[in-house]
């Protein structure tokens, strides 16, 4: 499986998931708009360990939604969630959405 990107969020396939299961399916909240990258359809579980999020998609696909981006189908499997960074002359910074 290939990494999947939506705005500043990137999902990277992983072999294992560790951590505590969270009671929600919000992968990230926008710092500027307050909009959320979240799983809106399909069966999935979200975990956190050491401030890293992991997504387990249990159904054949789950739908990742955000108010300003196209919906994306996430295939069944285990994913680590990262916030993308970009380089500027002052150094690395997290991409704001």
> Domain limits of the chain?
4-94
Mean pLDDT of 74-79: 97
Mean pLDDT of 30-59: 90
Q: What is the pTM of this model?
A: 0.83
Please indicate whether residue 30 or residue 88 has the higher confidence score (pLDDT).
Answer: 30
Mean pLDDT of 52-61: 97
The phi-psi region of residue 31 (left if phi > 0; otherwise alpha if psi is between -120 and 50; otherwise beta) is: alpha
In the chain, what percentage of residues exceed pLDDT 90?
Answer: 60
Q: What is the pLDDT of residue 89?
A: 60
Q: Which residues pair with 71 in a beta bridge?
A: none
Confidence of residue 94 (pLDDT cuts 50, 70, 90): very low
Q: What is the pLDDT of residue 97?
A: 47
Q: CA 93 to CA 2: how far, in whole Å?
A: 24
């Amino acid at each position: 499986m290939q990494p999947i990107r939506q705005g500043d969020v990137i999902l990277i396939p992983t072999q294992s998931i560790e951590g505590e299961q969270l009671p929600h399916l919000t992968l990230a909240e926008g710092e500027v708009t307050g909009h959320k990258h979240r799983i809106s359809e399909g069966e999935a579980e979200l975990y956190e360990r050491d401030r890293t999020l992991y997504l387990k998609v249990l159904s054949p696909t789950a739908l990742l939604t955000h108010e300003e981006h196209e919906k994306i189908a996430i295939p069944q499997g285990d994913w680590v969630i990262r916030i993308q960074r970009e380089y500027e002359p002052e150094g690395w910074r997290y991409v704001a959405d």
